[in-house]
Structure 1
Amino acid sequence: MSADAPPTLPVALDAVGGDHGAAPNVEGAVAAARSGLSILLVGDRVRLHAELGRHPGSGRLPLEVIDTPDVIGMDEHASDVRGRPQASINVATRLVKEGRASAVVSMGHSGATMASSLLTLGRLKGVDRPAILTHLPSKTGMVTVLDVGANADVKAAYLAQWAQLASIYLQVLEGQERPTVGLLSIGEEDHKGNALTLEAHALLRQLKSINFHGNVEGRDIFQGTTDIVVTDGFTGNIVLKLAEGEAKVLFGWVRDALNSSLSTKLGGLLVRGALRGIADRLDPSTYGASILLGVRGLSFIGHGSADARAVKNALLRADRAYQTRLVERLSSELAATMMPTPVSQAHP
């Protein structure tokens, strides 16, 4: 290991969270472990060992079970994390805080994961509100969007901070130099938008540490007009769910059309490979989970309906973020480039 490489640490997985419980979490963890990744499976020991027993050879893999019988269900309140220290997500985030795990990954209750990460890990200096960052397929490859659900009500200063965080993230994790940033609005012109957008636009124009493109419209997201799109969490979550829902509907239409007659079925056989490639690009499990950007640690939040592929890819992506020292890079570069928060925008 080089002098600059971080110490080897396992990834902590909230292994009982999500719509389908332990099964896809354990299957995905086993797949990631087969590639050499060490993983801490956090959850009820009996359930987890029962699932591990379904995977031959799992006993020889770098998998360790951390027993905790409590889990915050998908229909419970995120605020429950405060009074349930032995809930699996709280135990998993503490493992990161204590330096026993490199990152936490959860397909469980997203609000509980955000709350636990914020309460346990805290915020990076200069960050008022962490944001959920995700990737969506675009004409040019992918576009990075934030916030997609952590903050429904925001201030302009938050959007400016997120633009800086996302720019550093893409530079570190994706090797993109000077990624372009767009502000989601109802028109490309600088004077278009509501009061929040107009104020955020002015702040983003002042930032020398980002490559600000200007306003972008909803259609620009999938055209790949910019590498990054910043917006409030309420709008961003709607964009995310709309994109996922529309992709499913469109593929349903294509499937129905290809099965409508014998000739279209034969044609479908000819284009099956190409369609499978498109489906892979649109599949949320490609990235596995979205990072909660701005906390003092690595926290990844996945879909409650995530399958084993999503879990595996989330674990591998979390480890990659750790190996590239993402949190340390964010902290140091924010300290050097972060625009001071105006008094009117200061976090109470």
Structure 2
Amino acid sequence: MAFLQWLKESSNPTLLFVTISLVVALKFLMKGKLKNRKLNLPPSPAKLPIIGNLHQLGNMPHISLRGLAKKYGPIIFLQLGEIPTVVISSERLAKEVLKTHDLVLSSRPQLFSAKHLFYGCTDIAFAPYGAYWRNIRKICILELLSAKRVQWYSFVREEEVARLIHRIAESYPGTTNLSKMIGLYANDVLCRVALGRDFSGGGEYDRHGFQKMLDDYQALLGGFSLGDYFPSMEFVHSLTGMKSKLQHTVRRFDQFFDKVITEHQNSEGRQEEKKDLVDVLLDIQKDGSSEMPLTMDNIKAVILVSEHFMIGLVVSSIPMFQTSNYL
């Protein structure tokens, strides 16, 4: 499982001893505070000391949680390290959480990696519910994802489809790596919409190591983080090197976006229908039309997590991969 794998990869004997000792001490301190508290909690599987139910998640948590729901019911309680967690597994209860009580339960946990990667969780995915999040959501819906804006981007899709067909034709009669070509197509569409340029043709793309930066970003965001389950132990990431990896990756992206933003600021007079995501965000910042002022870090965070960019690079090409498998 992820927790044990993390321990294995971080198996410096001294560090491991210090970590376990501190967690045990913390466990005893918490036990004294919680001993007299009686909470009306949902059913819960048996827990282990210190890690609670972490060991029961396994490498495929969605399958493990389904198995626990079949055994303990549609609402269960799990103690994930220091984090008390309620798991919902029925349509009726999901409606209660996502619709009836959505305002109370709308904020996401601010993960250790997300706090570093998304400029203090100022993006639309991890920002806590409140005035700032509502403002960012409004900008995305009205300015970035409107039907008119999507229609304006149609010329990008048409041009990139033509390039995809040309690439496939050029590969004949040799072997065609269709998955790679479809990935390049999705990458170029999303980069042109977000940044106003494609990166698959070499040159800028290769010099900046753009794909490598994205791969590192996704690995750090999706990897196991001890601090997410033991917030009091976040300092351990400074010893394991994870914090320095996060900071290094953020600096690389920061320098890259600084260059892209400067180029956009120096190229004025672009037609409205030709403007990309960076242009739109800079216009909003410049004219002060937003309810709350946007900083450069806010703009970078929105770009990184926008559906057009970070997530879309992976998700948008999956249906095309599946379609090609049936051809």
Q: Of the two structures, which has the highest relative contact order with CA contacts closer than 8 Å and spacing of 6 or more? A: 1
Question: Which protein is richer in helix relative to its size?
Answer: 2
TM-score normalized by structure 1? 0.27
Higher strand proportion: 1
Instruction: Mark the structure with the bigger radius of gyration.
Output: 2
TM-score normalized with structure 2 length: 0.28
